[in-house]
Amino acid sequence: MIKKYISIFSAALLLCAGTVSCIGDLDVTPIDPTITLPDDVLDSEDAYASLLAKCYAGLTVSASEGPDGGADIDGIDGGYGQYLRALFYMNEYTTDEAVCPWNDQTLYNIHGLSWTTSDVFVTAMFSRIYYQIGLCNEFLRRSKSSSFRDSQTMKTYEAEARALRALSYLHAIDMFGNVPFATEANSVGSTGPDRISRANLFKWLDKECDEMLAGSDLKEIGANVYGRLDKGFVMMIQAKLNLNAAVYLGISDAEAKEYFNKAGTLCKDIKAKYPALHETVEIDGNSYHELFMADNDKWNAKEIIFCVPQDGNNIQSYGGTTFLIKAAIKSGEPEWMAAMGVNDGWGGINVTPEFIKLFGSTDSRNLLWGGGPNGDFPKDLADFKDFTSGWSAYKFSNLRSDGQPAQAVNFPDTDFPLFRTADAYLMLAEAQLRGASTVTEAEGRDAWTKVRKRAGIGEVTNYNLDELLNERGRELYWECWRRSDLVRFGKFTSKDYLWAWKGGVYEGTGVDEKFNLMPIPANEINSNDKLIQNPGY
C-alpha cells in the first residue's frame, strides 16, 4: 500500500508539472494568494487529485520537475526555498538548537537575530507560506464550482485542502503575526489581499478547525492513506493555536485560560486516540531514534500523526530530510556518510553548547556527536563559522531501523514527522501548568512521564514550566518548533536564556523584542498598501 501510494504521489507530481504550469504566474514576488488555472484543466476527479497532490507536494519538494527543476518561488535557490528547509531556518537556526557555519547571503543574521525586512530567507519562508495558501485557495475555488463537487471523494479532497491551508496560516500567525489574508471567496486579480490582524486570524483559524473537526468530510484518525492527513492533523493545529493564545492575542496567561482549557481538551483527545508512544526496538535499543530513520513510515498514524513523505527515488529535494541528514555531517568523510546512509556531507548544522547541556548521559534522545561516529570536535562552538568547532546531531538517518541501507543514498527515504503524539503529550502537561482546568496535575504528570520513560530517564521530578521547556527541547529538537516554544516561554529575545552567538556575540545577549515576530517582507509592503509593517521594523 505504501509503495503504491508513493507511485501515485510521484505520478501526480509529474502530471502537475503540466496541469498547473500556469502557476508559474505565481513565481514572482510579491506572492499572490489568489491564483487561477485555465478553465479546461480541471476536467475530472483525477485532475483534482493531481492539484491536491501539488498542494501536498508544496511541503515536500521545491518544484514539480524535481530537485533541479525550476523552483516554485523566485529569488532564492531551490534547496533554500523548500518549505521544510525554510521552516528550519526560521524555527531552528534562530535558536539554541542549530547554528549554520555557511557564509551564504544573510544566514549569520538569522542565528544572530538581526535580520531586516529585506532578508532573503525570511522572504523565502513568507513566499512559501503564501504559495501554499494560493494553491489551496485555487483548489477550493474551482472544486466548489465543479460538476464533481457533490461526490464524497471531492468533499474529502476539499477538506484536506482546507487543512493544508490551515497549516500554512498557523505558520503565518506564528512567525509573521499580522498578515495578508485570502480564502477561496476572494476575487482573483484584485489589487492585493487585505491585511488581517493576528487576533482576527486566530479567531478565523480556530473556527476553521472547529468546522473541520465537527464535519464528516475529513478522514477519521488512521483512516487515510499514507502521506495524506486526517482529523489528527487538524487537532494538532488547533491545539498549538490555543496553547499559543496568550502570544497570538497579546493577553496574559490568566486571560488565556479558556484557550488553555481548549488546548488541554484537544491534547487529552489526541492522547486517547494515540494511547501509546512508539516503543518497539529493532536494532540499537533506541525506539526514539527509529522515528527518524528511513523506514519510519511504519509508525505513520501511530506515534507519527502526520509526516511529510520522502522517497529516495521518487520524491527528491535539497530540503527536507536530505538537508537534515547531509548538513549534520562533514563532507569527504566516508565513515560518517556510511553511518548516516548517504553519499555526501555538507557540514551545515551545529548545535550550541547550551543545548548539549540539556541532556543527561542516559537519555536515549541524546543523538549528538562531535562530527561523526568517532568524532572528537569540541563542544564549545567558539568559531561558529567552522563546522568542526562544535557538535551536530545524527537524529535523522537514511538507514533503516534494522540497520540496512535505504533504497538510495543521494536522497533519503526518511519522512519528516510534522506532528507527533509525544508533542501532544508534552502540550497536555503544559496546558495544565498554565492553568487549564480541563487537565488534572495527575494527567499532566502521566503524559510527561510517558515521554521521559521512553527516553529511559524516569518520572518527572521538577514539574514546572522551565523544566517542560527543557523537555520539549530534548524531545522535539530539529522538528521546527523551538522558536515558537522559546517565544511562548518568554526566552527567545530576552536575556533570561542565552546561548552561543545569540545576538551575534559568543556569550549570547538579549535582543530587541521586535524579533519575536518576523517582518513582513519589504517587497510585500511596497506592493500592497493594505499591509502594515510589524512594530520595530
Count of C-beta atoms within a 10 Å radius of residue 503: 19
Average pLDDT over residues 91-109: 97
d(CA 450, CA 456): 10
Sequential DSSP letters for 182-242: --TTSPTT-S-PEEE-HHHHHHHHHHHHHHHHHSSSSPPTT-SPTTS--HHHHHHHHHHHH
Best CA proximity match to 175, nearest among 471, 529, 536, 520: 520
Task: Find the angle CA(124)-CA(135)-CA(146) to the nearest 5 degrees.
Answer: 175
Query: Residue 352's pLDDT band (boundaries 50, 70, 90)?
Result: very high
Question: Do the Cβ atoms of 445 and 429 come closer than 8 Å?
Answer: yes
Query: Residue 431's pLDDT band (boundaries 50, 70, 90)?
Result: very high
Least confident of 24-33, 241-250, 268-277, 460-469: 24-33
Q: Where are the alpha helices (DSSP H) in 282-408?
A: 287-290, 320-326, 334-340, 353-356
What is the pLDDT at residue 65? 61
For the stretch 205-261, pLDDT in tens is 999 999 999 999 999 999 999 999 999 999 999 999 999 999 999 999 999 999 999
Q: Is 51 contained in some domain? A: yes
What is the pLDDT at residue 66? 59
Query: Residue 73's pLDDT band (boundaries 50, 70, 90)?
Result: low
Q: Is 166 contained in some domain? A: yes
Q: Is 308 contained in some domain? A: no
Which residues are 304's β-sheet partners?
A: 300, 420
Q: Is 406 contained in some domain? A: no
d(CA 400, CA 496): 40
The three cell numbers locating residue 2: 505504501
Instruction: Kindly state the DSSP code that residue 513 receives in the 8-state scheme.
Output: G
Best CA proximity match to 491, nearest among 333, 354, 350: 354
Q: Is 116 contained in some domain? A: yes
What is the pLDDT at residue 186? 84
Question: Do the Cβ atoms of 439 and 264 come closer than 8 Å?
Answer: yes
Q: Is 286 contained in some domain? A: no
**What element of type H or E holds 417?**
strand 416-420
Least confident of 27-41, 94-108, 399-413, 415-429: 27-41
Least confident of 48-62, 341-355, 456-470: 48-62
Query: Residue 150's pLDDT band (boundaries 50, 70, 90)?
Result: confident
Beta strand pairing call for 194-196 and 179-181? antiparallel
The three cell numbers locating residue 535: 512594530
Domain residues for the domain of 116 are 9-215+491-537
Question: Do the Cβ atoms of 96 and 499 come closer than 8 Å?
Answer: yes
What is the pLDDT at residue 57? 93
pTM: 0.93
Q: Percent of the chain scored above 70 by pLDDT?
A: 87
Side-chain-facing half-sphere of 433: CA atoms under 13 Å: 19
What is the pLDDT at residue 12? 43
Sequential DSSP letters for 216-228: SSSPPTT-SPTTS
Q: Domain of 41: which CATH number?
A: 1.25.40.390
Least confident of 42-46, 124-128, 358-362, 493-497: 42-46
Task: Find the angle CA(176)-CA(97)-CA(285) to the nearest 5 degrees.
Answer: 130
What is the pLDDT at residue 22? 29
The three cell numbers locating residue 297: 513510515
What is the pLDDT at residue 28? 29
Least confident of 134-148, 151-165, 336-350, 385-399: 134-148
Query: Residue 45's pLDDT band (boundaries 50, 70, 90)?
Result: confident
Q: Which range has highest mean pLDDT (65-74, 164-173, 401-410)?
A: 164-173
The domain total for the chain is: 1
What is the pLDDT at residue 106? 95
Given a cut of 50, whether residue 8 has pLDDT beyond it is no
For the stretch 165-210, pLDDT in tens is 999 999 999 999 999 999 999 866 556 899 999 999 999 999 999 9
Better-scored residue on pLDDT, 432 or 299 = 432
d(CA 254, CA 435): 8
Query: Residue 149's pLDDT band (boundaries 50, 70, 90)?
Result: confident
Q: Is 262 contained in some domain? A: no
Q: Is 30 contained in some domain? A: yes
What is the pLDDT at residue 148? 81
What is the pLDDT at residue 332? 87
What is the pLDDT at residue 10? 46
Task: Find the angle CA(168)-CA(169)-CA(172) to the nearest 5 degrees.
Answer: 90
